[in-house]
Amino acid sequence: MSSHPYDIIIGLEVHVQLLTRSKLFCRCSTRFGGPPNTQTCPVCTGLPGSLPVMNRLAFQLSLKTAVALNCEIPEFTKWDRKQYYYPDLPKNYQISQFDLPLSREGWLEIRDPKGAFEPKRVGIIRAHLEEDAGKSMHDELAGKADSRIDLNRAGTPLLEIVSHPDMRSPQEARAYLDELKLLLTYIGVSDCNMQEGSLRVDANINLHIHTSPVKIATPIVEVKNMNSFRAVERALAYEAVRQYDVWQETHRQLGQPGGHKTTRGWDDQAQVTRPQRQKEESSDYRYFPDPDLAPVVVTPDEVVGVRAGLGELPAAIRQRLQDAYGIDAYDADVIVNQGRQVVDYFVALAEAAGDGKRASNWVQQDVLRTLNERGIGIDGFPIPAAALAELLKVVQRGDLDNSRARDVFQQMLAAG
Amino acid sequence: MSLCYCSATELLGKLEAGELTSVDLTRACLAQIDAHQPAVHAFVRVNRDAALARAAEIDQRRRGGAPLGPLAGLPIAIKDNLCTAGEPTTCASRMLERFSPPYDATVIARLKGADAVLIGKTNMDEFAMGGTTETSCFGPTRNPWDLGRVPGGSSGGAAACLAAGMATLSVGSDTGGSIRQPASFCGVTGLKPTYGRVSRYGLVAFASSLDQIGPLGRSVADVARLLQVLAGHDPLDSTSADVPVPDYPQALNQPLDGLTVGIVREHFGAGLDGEVEAAVREAVRVYQSLGARVREISLPHSKYAIATYYIIAPSEASSNLARYDGVHYGYRTDEASMLAEWNVERRQLAAAGDQRALDGQDSLLVRMYRRSRAEGFGAEVKRRIMLGTYALSAGYYDAYYLKALRVRRLIRTDFDQAFREVDVIAGPVAPTAAYPLGDKLDDPLAMYLGDLYTVSCNLAGLAGISIPCGLTAGGLPIGLQLQAPPMQEERLLRAAHMFQQATDWHTRRPLQTSTVP
């Protein structure tokens, strides 16, 4: 149902920093914001003779995520070295997973509560675990070309989640990211804080131009440097228009001369993408199995255990709220997006008041507004669900109109 | 006999009985070093003051009746690829000439815990790549039996220092024969433990799936004492085996009845020196005379061992050595001259109007990598980095690395089958005795072929030991190699000890160093 003479094809690569206290292969802290190079040891600085030892918790959190993303979990997974020279990569190889990742072929369902697109399953190609690099800081103040390197982040566990190119609009891409972030926070594997770099997104986008008899694919562009979900949405919208312009000008196709993949960076100030410098020869990472680490065996029983420990996931909760409390998809979405504790509050309120729709309205309007105004979480909200339910019952009986009820609500807040 | 050549067992007895102090013993070794280091060059660094201070401290604790570790007061030499906190650990490379790690290797911590006196760091081939100790950036070590000949390598200093009586025990590393071959060339005993038996944490990696730290000594009994301290699981090394460590010195005294010794048909083919073959066959007859059965076996894939090894080891090395880039530590090229060179190039290219070449010029970062690595590494290290980089490249990986991994498994299977029929395998360590310095330096292939009998042990993850079994007519030591299944160091040591009980080859000393003091 495209209004353009082309389809937009989007796949996303998301890097998620896992909520572990220590790094993936050593015991250094993963805390954000420490003075440079204070959270390092011989292992994460790649000193001669040092050896990696896998952080079990990081692997468990990855497994949990992969199961929540409906992935297949192979019984055998291993570590590989991805080799390239970069100053913030102290060993000049990154320990990652190449041909036998810990998970493959899953999916995440996305839907727009307002129905902007049809609900769909976005396929997940794989989710694999790897170590992060350090951070290069280019010292421009000194007026020289000097760079400084902070290795605090080097070795932090990253889960890379690669989607199939299943998204057909920037809105779908945004919905995928929102849903993924919600899922990751619900299962407690990441705080998904983009400012602190705990969630990073790269996008691959091209167009399928409507021509007869077949559609023609344009060259794929990888878009980087997007610092918020909003930026992702805008960058992709910009890129689709730009690529169509380029197509009309050049008629360059994917896989033909000049049709190779290129990389562009999003400039948030100028709201444009710009080409990024790339090597002339295609990079050869010379992957090979890391001989310092043993492969990891995951038994089917372990997977069953992980699945059992996941708890109810957002999509299921939305459905349950609709089914059990008679609220619509949009309202269920708003409540679920607030996190598990708000859901619990809503459920308690709806049960006690015996009126799901009214509970939904009050939670969305009065309760959430209060939380926003006060900058607090539901755990700091002073009115217990049972007490609010009594108020709702009074309104329901018709003994109090809504505006009087709101006065009472304010009094309860003040008393709390 | 001079203190310098006494066995660890005898010395420990004297120390415990108060007949000898560690300071006196350490002084004796230092005097031997003073006398022969200029000619032999076994050490890259001697820790004279630290060793004497440590010895004095141990003596004092002993006098105070404090409990002491199993190697208390014995001077032990350390190969210079084992990290020692705050002290240079160079791998005999210009790249790490000024590098001091901030931490101790696990084996160093264990030796300190055993109250050993670490007397110095021994010379080696650069990054343990070589079989002669000639690729050291500090210059070669010479064989105490004949100063015109190589001591073997890469643990050449580790073996030579024992042959020259400069230390009681020494620690080396073995990736394809680097303990056993120099032990053989220098007439001492050297053991390569099973992969995983000794922690590699703090061993500067050459080829991670093959490297193993091991003990050298002047007898099997001494080697057993040292292995006892080195061996054991280490949570810092994911490849170290969580398998209990037997009491090796105790095990030596238990008889080994009904031993079956295997000899490998393929070991006695072309290329094996006649004197070496005769000595090895004679050693096998010694076992027969001691009641052992001898059985000929075949290791059909052993002919591929060298090719397999020289794919896998350089591949891993190319990756392990990528970190030496001049950025974080180690050698960095002179930046002023680099910048000058780079600017001259730019001006010349600009003057010539060659925009293409200007655009293609290295960034300063890449130039720094290139120059640092070109200047910091020696020729043999570069050769192996290039071999390995090639073998792991896209399009070649399957044909080289992956195939090598498959052959490696077949080699292991050969041994598994052989060890169903025999308890240990006996054979030569090297095709020849020690050869003259410079003989193979310009012929890498000839050098690689010298590893023929030793690399399989690493590829298959077995335990192997080299013990002296004869002298050539020219008076050079010949080694006998024994190999045992994984984690069977105990069996290996008992079989080797049995031989040393019946022969005196391990008690022979080079004239040069044993007559002077």
Residues A111 and A51 in one domain: yes
Yes or no, beta carbons of B238 and A284 under 8 Å apart = no
Number of alpha carbons in the 13 Å side-chain half-sphere of residue B239: 20
Cβ-Cβ contacts under 8 Å, B315 against chain A: 288
In a domain, A293, yes or no: yes
User: In the prediction, which pLDDT does A142 show?
Assistant: 53
**Closest-CA residue to B461 (of B342, B267, B312, B277):** B312
Q: Is B208's Cβ below 8 Å from some Cβ in A?
A: yes
Q: Which residues pair with B217 in a beta bridge?
A: B189
H-helix or E-strand containing A163? Answer: strand A157-163
Output the pLDDT for position A279: 54
Residue B515 has pLDDT above 80, yes or no: no
Does one domain contain both A407 and A270? no
pLDDT digits (tens, 9 = 90+) for B206-244: 999 999 999 999 999 999 999 999 999 999 999 999 999
Last residue of a domain, one of A306, A334, A361: A306
pLDDT tens per residue across span B405-457: 999 999 999 999 999 999 999 999 999 999 999 998 888 888 888 999 999 99
Q: Looking at the complex, does the CB of residue A45 fall below 8 Å from at least one CB of chain B? A: yes
The predicted structure's pLDDT at residue B18: 95
Residue B239 distance to chain A (closest CA, Å) = 6
Q: What is the per-residue pLDDT for A140?
A: 59
User: Would the pLDDT of B162 be above 70?
Assistant: yes
In a domain, A183, yes or no: yes
Q: Report the pLDDT value the prediction gives residue B401, as an integer from 0 to 100.
A: 97
Q: If you ran DSSP here, which 8-state letter would residue A316 be given?
A: H
pLDDT band at B517, cuts 50/70/90? Answer: very low
Domain boundary among A251, A277, A306: A306
| φ, ψ at B55 (rounded to 5°) | -60, -45
Give the total number of structural domains in chain A. Answer: 2
In one-letter notation, the amino acid at residue B23 is V
Bond preceding residue B154 cis, omega within 30 of 0: yes
Cβ-based neighbour number of residue B268 at 10 Å: 14
Which helix (H) or strand (E) covers residue B478, if one does?
strand B477-484
Q: At what angle do helices A56-68 and A300-308 cross, to 10 degrees?
A: 70
CB contact B250 to A (< 8 Å):
no
- What are the CA-CA distances from residue B401 to residues A7, A281, A283, A382, A397 (Å)? 43, 23, 19, 65, 79
Q: Are residues A267 and A328 in the same domain?
A: no
CA dihedral A184, A188, A189, A195 (to 10 degrees): 70
Is residue A295 located within the same domain as residue A349? Answer: no
- Please give the radius of gyration of chain B, using alpha carbons only, rounded to the nearest integer: 23
Work out the burial of residue B390: count CB atoms within 10 Å of its CB; fewer than 13 is exposed, 13-18 middle, 19 or more buried.
middle
User: Residues A340, A300: one domain?
Assistant: no
pLDDT score, position A143: 54
**Which two tokens mark A216?**
């023609």
Alpha-carbon distance B225 to nearest alpha carbon in chain A (angstroms): 25
What pLDDT does B447 receive?
Answer: 87
Tell me if residue B325 falls in helix, strand or coil: coil
Q: Residue B111: pLDDT above 90?
A: yes
What the block records as the tokens of A98 is 């190449």
Residues A274 and A323 in one domain: no
Q: What is the pLDDT along chain A (416 residues), one digit of tens a residue?
A: 457 899 999 999 999 999 999 999 999 999 998 999 999 999 999 999 999 999 999 999 999 999 999 999 999 999 999 999 999 999 999 999 999 999 999 999 999 888 889 999 999 999 999 999 999 887 655 556 678 999 999 999 999 999 999 999 999 999 999 999 999 999 999 998 888 889 999 999 999 999 888 999 999 999 999 999 999 999 999 999 999 999 999 999 998 888 889 999 999 999 999 998 765 455 899 999 999 999 999 999 999 999 999 999 999 999 999 999 999 999 999 999 999 999 999 999 999 999 999 999 999 999 999 999 999 999 999 999 999 999 999 999 989 898 899 999 999 999 87
Span B291-311, pLDDT tens digits: 999 999 999 999 999 999 999
User: Mutating which of A37, A292, A293 best tests the B interface, going by the most B Cβ atoms within 10 A?
Assistant: A292
Instruction: Scan for tokens 């290139």, then name that residue.
Output: B370
Q: Which of A42, A85, A284 sits opposite B103 (nearest CB)?
A: A42
Please state, in angstroms and rounded to a whole number, the distance separating the CA atoms of residues A267 and B6.
74
- Find out whether B198 and B214 touch, Cβ atoms under 8 Å: yes
So what's the pLDDT on residue A141? 59
Yes or no: say if B466 and B180 are a contact pair by the CB < 8 Å rule. yes
Residue A333, in any domain of the structure: yes
Provide the token pair at A199: 């969630």
Q: Assess whether A20 and A162 both reside in one domain.
A: yes
End position of a domain, from candidates A306, A331, A363: A306
The predicted model scores a pTM of: 0.94
Is A138 found in the same domain as A34?
A: yes
Query: In terms of residue numbers, what domain contains A360?
Result: 312-415
Q: Give the pairing type, strands B117-122 and B43-46.
A: antiparallel
10 Å Cβ neighbour count for B505? 20
**From 3.40.640.10, 3.90.1300.10, 3.40.1640.10, 3.10.20.600, which CATH number describes the B3-267+420-508 domain?**
3.90.1300.10
User: B189, B221 in Cβ contact below 8 A?
Assistant: no
One domain for residues A175 and A272? yes
Establish if A236 belongs to a structural domain. Answer: no
Map out the domains of chain B as residue ranges. 3-267+420-508, 325-376
Task: Give the pLDDT mean for B113-125.
Answer: 98
A19 and A111, same domain (yes or no) = yes
Task: Decide if B323 and A92 are in contact by the 8 Å CB cutoff.
Answer: yes
| ipTM score of complex | 0.95
C-alpha distances out from residue B392 to A81, B129, B304, B377, Å: 11, 19, 19, 20
Both A318 and A184 in a single domain?
no
CA distance B202 to chain A (A): 4
For position A138, what pLDDT does the model report? Answer: 79
Whether residues A131 and A274 share a domain: the answer is yes
Domain assignment present for residue A210? The answer is no
Residue B201, pLDDT above cutoff 50: yes
* Separation between Cα atoms, residue B511 and residue B517, nearest integer Å: 11
Nearest to B105 among A49, A54, A83 (CB): A49
Cα separation, B174 vs B190, in Å, equals 10
The answer to whether residue A216 is domain-embedded is no
| Cα A219 → chain centroid | 26
Shortest distance between the Cα of A128 and any Cα of chain B, in A, equals 20
CB-based contact A81 B401, cutoff 8 Å: no
Interface test with A, best of B392, B393, B406 (most A CBs within 10 A): B392
